[in-house]
């Protein structure tokens, strides 16, 4: 089931490719070794290690298929063509909470690259969706689980 096109930074796309390559090479090799070791232990009908290794193989192949699907729909973002006058994917946006005056800076990224600790939020998150298309000085009213919040767009950069 295709999720559609996802846009990635160069680093995010390289990380995905590296993970997929590791699973296809090292991951498959490790699983094959585990299956061979379990098979050498005797009767397969009562061999829990063999069953566990086969289950692990199924999970690995599902993960490889999932990453392959992501890669087939992945697009690299050309940062030189991004407009910094409005909030879009890869924008670094400084927003100010109108209620308590606190400011925070987020970078808007694809769902797979989101990492709140690193200040990267998904364009699919409530805040990300609410900020997309806004200009500096605009106020975004965003519905969150904590209620509706108002954020002023203080700065937009790359």
Give the model confidence (pLDDT) of 130-148 as tens digits: 999 999 999 999 988 878 9
Q: What is the pTM of this model?
A: 0.65
Q: Compute the average pLDDT of residues 59-86.
A: 84
The pLDDT value recorded for residue 1 is 43
Q: Highest mean pLDDT range out of 28-32, 97-101, 112-116? A: 28-32
Q: Are 38 and 55 a contacting pair, CB within 8 Å?
A: no
The whole-angstrom separation of Cα 49 and Cα 141 is 54
Q: Are 95 and 153 a contacting pair, CB within 8 Å?
A: yes
Using N-to-C axis directions, what is the helix angle for 48-72 and 28-39, rounded to 10°?
160
Q: All domains of the chain, ordered by start, with CATH?
A: 6-76 (1.10.287.180), 79-157 (3.10.50.30)
Distances (CA, A) of 122 to 41, 117, 131, 148: 48, 13, 11, 19
């Amino acid at each position: 089931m295709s999720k559609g096109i996802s846009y990635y930074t160069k680093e995010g796309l390289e990380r995905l490719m590296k993970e997929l390559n590791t699973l296809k090479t090292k991951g498959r090799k490790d699983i094959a070794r585990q299956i061979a070791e379990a098979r050498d232990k005797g009767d397969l009908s009562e061999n829990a290690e063999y069953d566990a290794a086969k289950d692990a193989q199924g999970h690995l192949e599902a993960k490889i298929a999932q990453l392959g699907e992501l890669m087939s729909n992945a697009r690299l973002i050309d940062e030189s063509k991004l407009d910094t006058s409005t909030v879009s994917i890869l924008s670094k946006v400084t927003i100010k909470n109108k209620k308590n005056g606190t400011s925070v800076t987020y970078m808007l990224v694809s769902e797979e690259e989101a990492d709140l600790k690193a200040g990267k939020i998904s364009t699919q998150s409530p805040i990300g969706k609410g900020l997309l298309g806004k200009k500096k000085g605009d106020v975004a009213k965003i519905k969150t689980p904590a209620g509706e919040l108002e954020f002023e767009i203080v700065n937009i950069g790359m």
